[in-house]
Amino acid sequence: LLIGGGIANFTNVAATFRGIIRAITDYQDALRAHAVKIYVRRGGPNYQEGLHAMQELGQSLHLPIFVFGPETHMTAVVAMALGITETHANPATITAPSLFDRLPHVSTGNFADLACSRSGPKKSRMSSVKDDGIYSGLFNKQTRAIVWGVQLKAIQSMLDFDYACCRTVPSVAAIVYPFAGDCTQKFYWGSKDNLFIPQYQSLANALNEHIDARFLINFASFRAAYDITMEAMSIRDETEKRPRLDGIAIIAEGIPERFARRIMFAAKQMNVVVIGPATVGAIKPGCFKVGNTAGMIDNIIASKLHRPGSVAYVSRSGGMSNELNNIISRNTDGVAEGVAIGGDQFPGSTFLDHILRYEADPGVSMMVLLGEAIENGRIRKPLVAWCIGTCAEMLAGKGDANSLGEVQFGHAGACARSQAETAVAKNVRLSKAGAFVPNSFNDLGCLIRKVYEDLVKSGILTPKPDFPPQTVPMDYSWAKELGLIRKPAAFTSTISDDRGSELLYAGMPVSRVLSDNLGIGGVISLLWFKKRLPDYAIAYIERCLIITADHGPAVSGAHNTIVAARADKDLVSSLVSGLLTIGNRFGGAIDAAARQFSEAFDAGQSPSEFVASSRAAGRLIMGIGHRIKSVNNPDTRVTLLAKFARANFPATPLIDYAFQVEKLTTAKRPTLILNVDGLIGVSMVDLLRNCGCFTHEEADEHIRIGALNGLFVLARSIGFIGHYLDQKRLRQGLYRHPWDDITYQLPNLDDIDFPSTSGTNEGTT
């Protein structure tokens, strides 16, 4: 069993192994029965922890699991698993292969003829040679870029690279995003978060404000990337009579081929270097990197990309860039420059474009090509080349081994339409053209090292100096994910969690809330009480909401909402104006009634003792009394709720107690009935205490913190919103209260005059 992949950019490798570990654990018996050996090769962020976990899994389950990191070639585990090469006994101590072990048969050429002859100065920007013959390069330590799109992580990655390389000026000059106003974005520069990068709505404005920015990184979607790229290439520098930008990287995949061809044609016509579409970007170690190229800073440092080397590469796949960075850094003095031209059929620049650029670059001594480009002898520097996909022929049907339609590997741009375009044929032609071609991809690193060392021995190449990078602090979020630091949380939430693949209500997936038809009552039970209450309890909560949703426009809350709506206030403002009237006199007596009645009941007071003690203390009994309802005009809402509770609750001792109190209070005045607030309060106490989900103390805690008043607030919000919408539909104008409904009683003028100190009224003359 082979488990592996390339070196990841940002994926937490240890996290990706958790599911694999669970699967191996679940199927360990079957794996043993079939004598399965497991080979794991992975690199990227936190890969050490992931490989360690896999190694421990093998030891605990007594399974043969062999783990390898980026120090082992990407495909070396295949040969080990097939028995072609020996499996290292102690993978943890694996080192790079010996310089001359397992060297493939290659066309070596004559190194005496590899002196860096030039084909003469070129004036195209792709060749990057100035009129005076001095090579300028597409990227250098002063290169600055504009980023289209609010890709904050990618920008921070570029800035961390700049800091590690000891750049004095950040490589990102500005951000362009047309869907927000001009502003600034804050980033880290080393350990200080004091770097502010301006953000513009217009690309033209950004270019005008930042004349030193000559490169655009286009993070727009495939729908918008074409228009933005064409706009960028059309902006001209009128002083120098040329396009304003030297180069553009297009990250988006899926741009229609018709548009991609237009971009390619326009780029050549306007002499603008376009990298992409469908690319991760490019990197020039020690100088500049495009977006997310090379991944996190630890991978950049591990591949020695903080300082320049002597080997330049070009590939089609962005996914292979990290592998090439790793291979080259382990077998030479490092990478001089690397470009992934993109996986689409029609890239803006080709392999040959960049190979010729490297040919003209005096800082590049040898090149690596993962693709196809040469045949006519224009390249003088040594080139190690490999075209991926040679195994496709082995997987073709036996009856049609030459069929191109059965199996092919690679991006759209690697599609073979004839036998001459297959990977095997391309490798043969590369070898005939003078490139160094290994027998397989597995031998690529060894061949690169062989060519590099021969260049050093012949004196053609002098290894570039090595020096440590400037230390870049680890991001807090990444350090926390790795478990390296801890910090007390500002908030604690125990009712919902939105971090996983599905929203959880008190631990229950929202899909189950829907499939079980819990309704709004069930949602309240989960989010307010953190329990799935019995069905009768959920039904009762919903009845409370239905019955108390509205009580006409005359009540204070609805009145306030209507007045605010007619003053042309928005829905939220109008709703809040109504909700602010809820209190002990209107709708907010549920909690108070629940507390008063339950305390008296728990203290063993009889209904008459409760009434007498309240009267003696001058304290109103909350939940008793109504402005218009009475014994002779009963409140139907109270009747309906009480009937349901008595029919479905396990016990209703507090409801019965409250109705006994009502008999005493209505004997004094018919309107002193148990109102709907009071009934909901006492009934919810009976529900919480007797449903079997809470202890007595837990039920009292819900009452203490105000959960019961929430029922009225939630329900009446429905009615208030209805009144707001009703007034808006009726297009009612500003409300002004009529004079005849107001009693005006002002004091006499003589009563408000301030008496003079002399006791006399002094007039003015």
How far apart are the C-alpha atoms of 401 and 397, rounded to whole Å?
Answer: 6
Q: How far apart are the first and last CA of the chain?
A: 112
Residue 433 is predicted with a pLDDT of 86
Q: Give the residue from 487, 462, 464, 484 showing the smallest Cα distance to 474.
A: 484
Q: Is the pLDDT higher at 415 or at 131?
A: 415
Q: Which of 65, 93, 121 lies at the terminal end of a domain, its last residue? A: 93
Q: What is the DSSP letter of 674?
A: B
470 occurs within a structural domain: no
**Residue carrying structure tokens 């404000």:** 209
How far apart are the C-alpha atoms of 571 and 44, rounded to whole Å?
Answer: 51
357 occurs within a structural domain: yes
Could you give phi then psi for residue 565, rounded to 5 degrees? Answer: -60, -40
Residue 39 is predicted with a pLDDT of 96
Q: Is the pLDDT higher at 244 or at 371?
A: 244
Domain shared by 299 and 156, yes or no: yes
Helix, strand, or coil (residue 411): coil
Q: pLDDT tier at 131 (50, 70, 90 boundaries)?
A: very low
How far apart are the C-alpha atoms of 162 and 188, rounded to whole Å?
Answer: 11
Q: Does the pLDDT at position 100 exceed 60?
A: no
Domain shared by 88 and 177, yes or no: no
Helix, strand, or coil (residue 324): helix
pLDDT more than 90, % of the chain: 76
Catalytic residue among 306, 354, 411, 702: 411
| Burial of 440: CB neighbours in 10 Å, binned 0-12, 13-18, 19+ | middle
Tell me the Ramachandran region of residue 260: left when phi exceeds 0, alpha when psi lies from -120 to 50, beta otherwise. Answer: alpha
Average pLDDT over residues 263-285: 96
How far apart are the C-alpha atoms of 226 and 251, rounded to whole Å?
Answer: 11
99 occurs within a structural domain: no
Domain shared by 530 and 553, yes or no: no
760 occurs within a structural domain: no
Angstrom CA distances, 676 to 601, 634, 660, 670, stand at 19, 11, 16, 16
Residue 438 tokens, joined: 């290994």
CB half-sphere exposure, 406, CA atoms < 13 A: 14
How far apart are the C-alpha atoms of 570 and 567, rounded to whole Å?
Answer: 9
Domain shared by 232 and 367, yes or no: yes
Domain shared by 293 and 223, yes or no: yes
Domain shared by 392 and 311, yes or no: yes
Q: What is the DSSP letter of 583?
A: B
Could you give phi then psi for residue 696, rounded to 5 degrees? Answer: -60, -40
R_g of the chain, CA atoms, integer Å: 39
Q: pLDDT tier at 97 (50, 70, 90 boundaries)?
A: very low
Helix (H) or strand (E) holding 409: none
Chain-centre distance of CA 558, in angstroms?
42
Q: What is the DSSP letter of 286?
A: T
Helix (H) or strand (E) holding 457: helix 444-457
**Residue carrying structure tokens 């990250």:** 251
Q: Are the beta carbons of 437 and 386 closer than 8 angstroms?
A: yes
Indicate the length of the chain as a whole number.
765
Average pLDDT over residues 67-73: 93
Domain shared by 158 and 85, yes or no: no
Domain shared by 557 and 535, yes or no: no
Cis peptide before 277 (omega within 30 of 0): yes
Domain shared by 81 and 146, yes or no: no
Nearest 5°: the CA angle 538, 539, 543 is: 120
Cis peptide before 553 (omega within 30 of 0): no
Residue 419 is predicted with a pLDDT of 66
Total tally of structural domains belonging to the chain: 4
761 occurs within a structural domain: no
Strand order in the sheet with 504-505: 496-497, 504-505, 508-509
Residue 403 is predicted with a pLDDT of 54
465 occurs within a structural domain: no
- Give the tens place of pLDDT for each residue, 558-581: 999 999 999 999 999 999 999 999
Q: Which of 506, 539, 572 lies at the terminal end of a domain, its last residue? A: 539
70 occurs within a structural domain: yes
**Residue carrying structure tokens 């919480």:** 688
One-letter amino acid at 607 equals P
One-letter amino acid at 537 equals A
- Give the tens place of pLDDT for each residue, 484-530: 888 888 899 999 999 989 999 999 999 999 999 999 999 999 999 99
- Residue 34 falls in the annotated catalytic set: no
Question: Among 127-141, 221-235, 265-279, 434-448, where is mean pLDDT lowest?
Answer: 127-141
- The mean pLDDT value of the chain amounts to 89
How far apart are the C-alpha atoms of 111 and 527, rounded to whole Å?
Answer: 75
Domain shared by 354 and 332, yes or no: yes
Helix, strand, or coil (residue 121): coil
126 occurs within a structural domain: no
Q: Give the residue from 279, 320, 327 showing the smallest Cα distance to 304.
A: 327
Domain shared by 534 and 570, yes or no: no
Helix, strand, or coil (residue 35): coil
- Give the tens place of pLDDT for each residue, 45-64: 999 999 999 999 999 999 99
Q: Give the residue from 330, 329, 331, 350 showing the smallest Cα distance to 340.
A: 350
One-letter amino acid at 548 equals T
Average pLDDT over residues 393-400: 57
Q: pLDDT tier at 412 (50, 70, 90 boundaries)?
A: low
Question: Among 108-112, 222-226, 338-342, 692-696, where is mean pLDDT lowest?
Answer: 108-112
- Give the tens place of pLDDT for each residue, 596-618: 999 999 999 999 999 999 999 99
How far apart are the C-alpha atoms of 98 and 87, rounded to whole Å?
Answer: 16
- Give the tens place of pLDDT for each residue, 711-749: 999 999 999 999 999 999 999 999 999 999 999 999 988
Residue 580 sits in which domain range?
549-730
Domain shared by 313 and 214, yes or no: yes
β-strands 335-340, 282-284: how paired? antiparallel
Q: pLDDT tier at 9 (50, 70, 90 boundaries)?
A: confident
Helix, strand, or coil (residue 403): coil
* CATH code where residue 401 lies: 3.40.50.261
Q: Which of 40, 66, 93 lies at the terminal end of a domain, its last residue? A: 93
